[in-house]
Structure 1
Amino acid sequence: MKFANGRLVALGGAVLLLASGCNALSGGDSSGDGTDGGTTDPLAEEMRSWPGGCDVLDNLQPIVDYMQIQEIDGGALNNNAWGEGMDGEALTCNGLVTVKSFELADGTISENDGELWGGIVPWENEDQAKASYTQRTVDDIEGLKEQDSTLQVIEEIPLGDEWDEGKLIVMDREFEWALTLIGRQGQWLFYAEVNYNHDTGEELYNENSDILPGSEEDYAYPFDDAALQQWLVEEYAPSVNQMINDRIGQE
């Protein structure tokens, strides 16, 4: 397999450059994989021809709405067609966000920031998709842990039966939560990454409620960490699976 694309795995501003593994993802003989003059698989060709990841994934709006994101950097997420973004194997939708801002006692504004990613990764066959799933859920996570000694995997929550395999990897580092959801169906993958600061606003209010204006809801996140994780697994992942399957064959 002769993909020239590399991909960048980002975690809260820390970026790890990974090559698109020629041997790991080739599944053996490269004939017919569409990379050296062979015939491209029709499903892979269709999915790679889709518009940008934000177009397909509704701008990650369900996540934005659930978390009640206050602001998206630049006004919109970055919308990339297949092979155009930092993840050269995927159609992607990503950007930096302000999850919550609040006013301190001296009148200055403090922000709790985050980063959202969504991607669809079409492969030529199921073997390549399986290898990619393993790389992204095992090798990439190990690479991130080597890069950041504070990163810990807290829990891995399996996705529903609509996926051939899938999980939500819940990670914590010094100042933030890092959630990586990834599912495989046949020869394609979907992933979503939700990285956001620990809720310093709630902590601040609880420690200084006597001198801060407003109430706790003016400072704390409007969602619970565990509830967000449950929603991603039980509601968001199945809805995206259905959305992608509904689109297949429509263009």
Structure 2
Amino acid sequence: MKRIFLKTFAATGAAALFLSGCSLFERGEDTGGNSNGDDGGSDNAVYTEMTSWDACEVLDNLQPITDYMGIEGYGSSTSAGGEPSTAQIGNTWDPESIGCNDLISVSAADEYASTMGGGEIKVKIVPTESEEQAVAAYEDRVAAADSASSQGTDPQSEEFGDPWDQGTIVSWIGSAESPHVEVIARDGQWVFHIQLNYGADFGLRNEGTPAYQFTSDELNQWFVDTYLPEVNQTVNDRIAEVQ
């Protein structure tokens, strides 16, 4: 697939709330009220349907990401096994979203196979009641990611498009040389948001040969070229059933 990055621009210093790499959610489901802050529900059929979804079920328990990254475990940064946790709309760490998230342990390749690097992944679907609300949510999340990247080193931000109405991928190096990446995309009245950090590739650091089965650049491009188009199709197919 051809590269669909459209342009690169410097990360901004816009002040915005950012969820740190530390775990901000509890294991298991995190329930709460609807995103409007009341119990009255919504008259928008698409919004109502999307808020009822189990994000891990919709996203196949993050299996494509698990396979690509070689994730050996969820719920711990040091051990194998487990599955990602579901967060419902109104959850405490990102109440506007439904999510599939957890700490992760990532296996290294070849001679490093007995070692796993820790990190955390948050994969979120953000339903809204209108395209205007979705644009605002998208812009807020991009600003927050840009603000976070400015606190690290080597901040990079690139826009992408089709099949999305808007898309941005922001990456940087955090503490302990840990790669961070956020991918934010909007299609109509919903937003998709990935937040990911994982341990530094000690193979590159020590011997110049990657220890993981991917490089950071390859992973970021895979998100944009392969994973996000698949998610777009999956979610829009479900939306079509209620329109």
**What TM-score results when the alignment is normalised by the length of structure 1?**
0.72
- The aligned counterpart of 1:87 is 94
Residue 44 of structure 1 pairs with residue 47 of structure 2: yes
Which residue of 194, 197, 200 corresponds with 1:198?
200
The 2-side partners of 1:227 and 1:53 are apart by 25
What pairs up with 1:75-114 in 2 under 5 angstroms? 75-84=82-91, 86-100=93-107, 111-114=116-119
Provide closer, same or farther for how the CA distance between residues 164 and 104 of structure 1 changes in structure 2, counting only shifts above 3 A: closer
Cα deviation, 1:30-84, whole Å, max 9, x if unaligned, reads xxx795858521111111122x211111111111110111222261111122223
Would the aligned equivalents of 1:90 and 1:122 in 2 still touch at CA under 8 Å? yes
Rg (Cα) greater in structure: 1
Provide closer, same or farther for how the CA distance between residues 161 and 77 of structure 1 changes in structure 2, counting only shifts above 3 A: same
The 1-side partners of 2:132 and 2:188 are apart by 9
- The aligned counterpart of 1:171 is 172
SS of 1:189's partner is strand
Would the aligned equivalents of 2:42 and 2:48 in 1 still touch at CA under 8 Å? no
The 2-side partners of 1:153 and 1:35 are apart by 41
Question: How far has the Cα of 1:11 moved from its partner?
Answer: 3.2
Question: Percent identity over the alignment?
Answer: 36
Provide closer, same or farther for how the CA distance between residues 112 and 241 of structure 1 changes in structure 2, counting only shifts above 3 A: same
| One-letter code aligned to 2:216 | D
**What TM-score results when the alignment is normalised by the length of structure 2?**
0.75
| One-letter code aligned to 2:220 | Q
The 2-side partners of 1:101 and 1:66 are apart by 12
Which residue of 203, 223, 228 corresponds with 2:219?
228
SS of 1:242's partner is helix
- The aligned counterpart of 1:242 is 233
Would the aligned equivalents of 1:178 and 1:194 in 2 still touch at CA under 8 Å? yes
The 1-side partners of 2:73 and 2:40 are apart by 45
Provide closer, same or farther for how the CA distance between residues 180 and 39 of structure 1 changes in structure 2, counting only shifts above 3 A: closer
Would the aligned equivalents of 1:85 and 1:92 in 2 still touch at CA under 8 Å? no
Task: Tell me the number of residue pairs that the alignment of Structure 1 and Structure 2 aligns.
Answer: 209
| One-letter code aligned to 1:132 | A
Would the aligned equivalents of 1:153 and 1:169 in 2 still touch at CA under 8 Å? no
Which ranges in structure 1 are unaligned for 5 or more consecutive residues? Answer: 1-7, 16-25, 27-32, 208-215
Cα deviation, 1:210-245, whole Å, max 9, x if unaligned, reads xxxxxx67xx11112211111111111111100101
Provide closer, same or farther for how the CA distance between residues 14 and 58 of structure 1 changes in structure 2, counting only shifts above 3 A: closer
- The aligned counterpart of 2:20 is 11
The 2-side partners of 1:65 and 1:103 are apart by 16
The 1-side partners of 2:215 and 2:111 are apart by 22
